[in-house]
Structure 1
Amino acid sequence: MNRIVNLFDTNPTDQPGQGLLNVYFTAGFPALNDTKKILTALQEGGADLVEIGMPYSDPVADGETIQKSNEKALENGMSVKLLFDQLQDMRKTVSIPVLLMGYVNPVMQYGIENFCKKCAEVGVDGLILPDMPMDVYLNEYKSIFDSYGILNIFLVTPQTSEARIRQIDQASEGFIYTVSSASVTGSKSGVSTDMESYFNRINAMNLRNPRLIGFGIKDNATYVKACNYASGAIIGSAFIRVLEESKDLENDIRHFVQEIKNPASAVINA
């Protein structure tokens, strides 16, 4: 069974304010060879799954913080091939689900089947490709993803129609990435009343797939609020800022995750 599917099957998230935490970071940032170090520290801190960004020159869905991390990673020399090299022995120490997030062009250049095969070889469980059209995926690539056991995670936004959401739900396995607003990543507004209405609307649809809420999740308060409306939350920009400012990378990562999920524990362990 895919690790992502197994995670949601074995972790009931029906308690208010409790849920799974997915943490995003950009491969090759802050330093080129930090990938495995960050992955391990996230697992030790208590992250439930991890989303590794494949740096791209034009990350249109991302705000300034993640854009700058992409630029720095590319300057450092990160590439898809190098990332796979860095993840080669990942499963010797990392047991939590790992996804790769990025844009479809580098994946196409690598070759869809070669990319999925390499993901399976190193232990990547799923992909998030926001600019992959769903009809293209279903008609041309789903059979390849399925043959290698790789999940393709779709995004929904407040502007996504009910018909489209239901289509995504039928085409999905694992979870649905619920974008909290129409803005780019790194929003500092938190979870607004309008967002809550949107989350309630999706919950009323009784979809078969669990959902994780992303964009605007930055601390324990926004994490808890998101968990009241979904199976968990995704944090990206706030974590990138921690990496950018860190003086003790592994300890700072563990402390950050603990502060998001359980602030009382983080104080005790500080």
Structure 2
Amino acid sequence: MINRFADLLARKPSGLLNLYITAGYPTLHDTMPLLRTLAEAGADILEIGVPFSDPLADGPVIQQTSTVALRNGMTLKLLLQELQGIREYLPDTPLLLMGYLNPVLQLGMEEFCRQAAAAGIDGVILPDLPAEEYAEFYQETFRKYNLRKVFLITPQTSEARIRRLDELSEAFLYLVSGPGLTGGNQTADQSVQQAYLQRVEALNLRNPRLVGFGIADKASFNNACQHANGAIIGSALLRALDGAADPHQAARAFVQRIRG
């Protein structure tokens, strides 16, 4: 079975750039074209946010883009339809869906997994699906459709818990850089963040590690990559797209700033 995460890591073990966009933003049908633009510009992994009215882990920027996307008419069902055929353009780039459990359960977990797999999705982030509930009820369904669950780790997560999440995942571990929501200033206390990333690095986990929350520019990206395989950027990219006359030009320029 294809594992695009493992294939990517074999080609490029460090400096991985995972970029997040909100589906249906800035306009309803921007999702597919923007994914192609970002991949061509140098994104290694693409994360597609499913807009939701109550996004618990997301800060004001992603909340605002979700509001716009919902107003535009984006839904999980429409997104899965729109993504059909994306592998024709992006054969090797790992694709993630990031969302919340409520819309998934409305569709039905198995139907969600079936449609996501048919659309070429590799992995799923559902912050409000507890790991043990996933393991007991949904892991076999995910495996049936070759989907990989990504789990979040925070500075407060115990070593035993980290090892359990590493055991359950076959994609990467999402290291939340500090307390708060996406798009916040988690990079303020560099020494604390570095100690946390070093602590996780020393565990010699089997999955790669990507750092998210508060990664906004070349400096914070490079800092995160010192003790992890890469980093995730969402809010800063969405801010760059906000109001841009040409979202594709803005997206390319943003990636160039990160890559330097």
TM over 0.5: yes
Q: Counterparts in 2 of 1:178-189, with a 5 A limit?
A: 178-189=175-186
| Ranges in structure 2 where 5+ consecutive residues have no aligned partner | none
- 3-state DSSP of counterpart to 1:142: helix
Say whether 1:165 aligns with 2:162: yes
Q: Distance in 1 between matches of 2:220 and 2:183?
A: 13
How far apart are 1:255 and its partner, in Å?
A: 1.5
Q: Residue 127 of structure 1 contacts residue 150 of structure 1 at CA under 8 Å; is this kept in 2? A: yes
Say whether 1:106 aligns with 2:103: yes
Q: Residue 211 of structure 1: which of 183, 190, 209 is its match?
A: 209
Q: Residue 226 of structure 1: which of 224, 227, 236 is its match?
A: 224
2:8 aligns with: 7
- 3-state DSSP of counterpart to 1:108: helix
How far apart are 1:60 and its partner, in Å?
A: 1.0
The CA RMSD measured in Å over matched residues stands at 1.0
2:248 aligns with: 250
Q: Deviations over 1:42-87 (max 9, x none)?
A: 0110000100000000001011111101111111110011101110
How far apart are 1:189 and its partner, in Å?
A: 4.6
Letter in 1 for 2:213: F
Q: Residue 177 of structure 2 contacts residue 186 of structure 2 at CA under 8 Å; is this kept in 1? A: no
2:69 aligns with: 73
Q: Distance in 2 between matches of 1:149 and 1:99?
A: 12
1:31 aligns with: 27
TM-score using structure 1 length: 0.93
Q: Distance in 1 between matches of 2:165 and 2:243?
A: 38
**Count of equivalent residues:** 257
- 3-state DSSP of counterpart to 2:242: helix
TM-score using structure 2 length: 0.96
Q: Distance in 1 between matches of 2:82 and 2:242?
A: 20
Say whether 1:127 aligns with 2:124: yes
| Ranges in structure 1 where 5+ consecutive residues have no aligned partner | 14-18, 264-270
1:16 aligns with: none
Q: Distance in 2 between matches of 1:12 and 1:134?
A: 26
Q: Deviations over 1:174-233 (max 9, x none)?
A: 110000011100113526211111111111111111100001100101101100010000
Q: Distance in 2 between matches of 1:33 and 1:12?
A: 33
Q: Residue 58 of structure 1: which of 45, 50, 54 is its match?
A: 54
